[in-house]
């Protein structure tokens, strides 16, 4: 039986409160956390990992395209976060902070492995030309190959569209936070999101 996804309006997250549990920044001015070097003895760090590891892993997986590299990246991101834990003063939400570390880390990895994606504005004309097909909902079969199709689609996208879609997909990030992570205004995020969706839909259909 088909499970149609309800047409959910994309929430206006420009000023939306974050979800409980994830919106807790570390208390400003609190004592730095010098976690003893003994596993996850620091409860704050253990909680950080529990709450955010899946999001970070998924981002790394879809940015790097390889599960092993994503595992390495996730490990490295949280290790960096652990080392910087005493410097974190709660100016941003923990998840935003971790995403920033992850984005920079994955970007460095891609550049060092010469996987730079050159984005050309000419590509927009390709997506615009395929308006009719991309207006339809994305209809997929829940198969093991779905992940491969998604990865292939993301790999073909310009980097800024890829990152934008991955961040917007995380409902715990507001448009403002996405804008901070992608260095643009929330309005620019919305505008670019429209083009990124079209581009994704065009490429995704080709993977069928």
Partner 1 sequence: MKRQSQFHAREQQQEGERERQEAQPIEFATPEQLLRHDALHTPVPPAVGHRLQESVARLPMPARSWWRRLLGL
Which span (14-22, 105-113, 160-168, 182-190) binds partner 1, by CB under 8 A? 160-168
Q: Toward partner 1, which CB reaches closer, 21 or 39?
A: 39
- In 3D, which of 77, 97, 93 has the Cα closest to residue 26? 93
35 versus 180: smaller Cβ distance to partner 1: 35
Site size with partner 1, rule: CB under 8 A:
54
**Pick from 166, 183, 185: which is nearest to 175 by CA?**
185
Say if CB 59 and CB 166 are below 8 A apart: yes
Sites for partner 1 among residues 36-55 (CB under 8 A): 36-40, 45, 49, 53-55
Q: Which of residues 59-118 bind partner 1 (CB under 8 A)?
A: 61-62, 67, 71, 74-75, 78-79, 82-83, 86
Classify residue 114 as left (phi > 0), alpha (psi -120 to 50) or beta. left
Exposure class string for 99-128: b at 16+ Cβ within 10 A, else e: bebbbebbeebbeeeeeeeeeeeebeeebe
Q: Which residue has the tokens 């800024």?
A: 160
Choose one: 15-23, 93-101, 121-129, 164-172; the region binding partner 1 (CB under 8 A). Answer: 164-172
Interface residue list for partner 1 (CB under 8 A): 1-5, 7-8, 10, 34-40, 45, 49, 53-55, 57-58, 61-62, 67, 71, 74-75, 78-79, 82-83, 86, 137-143, 146-147, 150, 165-166, 168-171, 196-197, 200-201, 204
């Amino acid at each position: 039986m088909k499970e149609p996804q309800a047409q959910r309006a994309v929430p206006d997250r420009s000023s939306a409160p974050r979800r409980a549990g994830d919106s807790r920044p570390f208390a400003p001015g609190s004592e730095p956390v010098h976690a003893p070097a003994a596993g996850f003895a620091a409860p704050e760090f253990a909680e950080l990992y529990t709450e955010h590891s899946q999001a970070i892993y998924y981002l790394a997986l879809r940015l790097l395209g390889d599960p092993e590299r994503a595992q390495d990246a996730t490990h490295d991101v949280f290790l960096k976060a652990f080392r910087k834990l005493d410097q974190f003063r709660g100016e941003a939400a923990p998840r935003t902070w971790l995403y920033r570390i992850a984005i920079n880390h994955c970007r460095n990895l891609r550049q060092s492995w010469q996987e730079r994606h050159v984005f050309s504005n000419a590509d927009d004309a390709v997506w615009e030309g395929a308006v009719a097909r991309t207006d339809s909902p994305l209809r997929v079969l829940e198969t093991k190959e779905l992940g491969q199709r998604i990865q292939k689609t993301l790999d073909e996208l310009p980097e800024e569209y890829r990152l934008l879609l991955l961040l917007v997909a995380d409902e715990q990030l507001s448009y403002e936070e996405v804008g901070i992570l992608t260095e643009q205004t929330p309005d620019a995020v919305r505008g670019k999101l429209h083009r990124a969706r079209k581009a994704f839909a065009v490429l995704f259909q080709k993977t069928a």
